[in-house]
Amino acid sequence: MSDRPTVVRAQGPQRDCLTPEKPTKQVAIIGHDAPADVRTGPEFTRRDVSLGGASAERTEGRGADGRHLGWLRIPSRRLMVSVRTHDPEIARRILDSARLVSVDHNGCPARRPPEKRPAPTHPTARSAMAPANPSSISLCYYGASADTLLTSARLSGQEAAALAAALSSAAPGPNPDVDPKECALPPAPPPADAVLLVEDAAGRGAVHVAFSGCSGRGLDNGALRARVNQPLIHRIMAPLGTGFAFHGDLSR
């Protein structure tokens, strides 16, 4: 909680340091729609707007600590952009800059892929979870509670090769389901938390990564399944800059 401006995407589980946010802090957050967080009152103005053809609500005003506050809610996408700044012009410019896209700057679909298993499109899919030396790996994180892309990152060079090696060295899977005494198993496994888009000169493939639910956990490239463990999840999630949670023992 420094005095530096912060942009937050996919705010997930985090250590609670009991550090209050100072009035000097400037923040922009892109995340799930949370209408309870939007202030109301005579000091705030609300208006209906359109964002790429989608209906949205925009609220702006000044908070009790002197900062200029703003929210842009897109209910149909379950998304919200919120800002807290010193300058009303900065808050306005951030909200004005919001755009809805179908594919983001890292090549990640804005909506979680509907299929339960990816198509094994890469030539190496039946022999390895990921190609040995990918030119890039896009990390597309959707989380467990919505089908909207929360955040993404793209790895290349040694970072991409290291992740590909970790994926391909994972133990054959999938992970066993959590003991029903510890976690209520759903009728069907939940969708993947993240989709990894792996590309090299031979083509492109996808690896689904599931870890937050009680069942259906593991890696899946459409032809092979393998287990996830905490170090591998750390390797995937660290570039995304967001926390994560899982149930049960991933080491079994």
Average pLDDT for 155-161: 97
pLDDT digits (tens, 9 = 90+) for 117-146: 999 999 999 999 999 999 999 999 998 877
| pLDDT of res. 145 | 74
pLDDT, the chain, mean: 91
**Distant-in-sequence, close-in-space partners of 95: CB < 8 Å, separation ≥ 6:** 58, 60, 70, 72, 81, 83
Higher pLDDT, 19 or 104: 104
The pTM of this model reads: 0.87
Helix or strand (DSSP H, E) at 165: helix 157-168
pLDDT above 70 (res 252): no
- Positive or negative CA dihedral for 214, 215, 220, 224? positive
Q: Which of 238, 212, 72 is nearest to 151 (CA)?
A: 238
Q: How far is residue 76's CA from residue 84's CA, in Å, rounded to a whole number? A: 24
Q: What percent of the chain has pLDDT over 70?
A: 96
Q: What angle do CA 223, 175, 228 make, to 5 degrees?
A: 80
| pLDDT of res. 12 | 65
- Strands 194-200 vs 203-210: parallel, antiparallel or unpaired: antiparallel
Average pLDDT for 224-231: 96
pLDDT band at 237 (very low <50, low <70, confident <90, very high): very high
| pLDDT of res. 16 | 67
Q: How far is residue 98's CA from residue 50's CA, in Å, rounded to a whole number? A: 11
pLDDT band at 116 (very low <50, low <70, confident <90, very high): confident
pLDDT digits (tens, 9 = 90+) for 198-219: 999 999 999 999 999 888 999 9
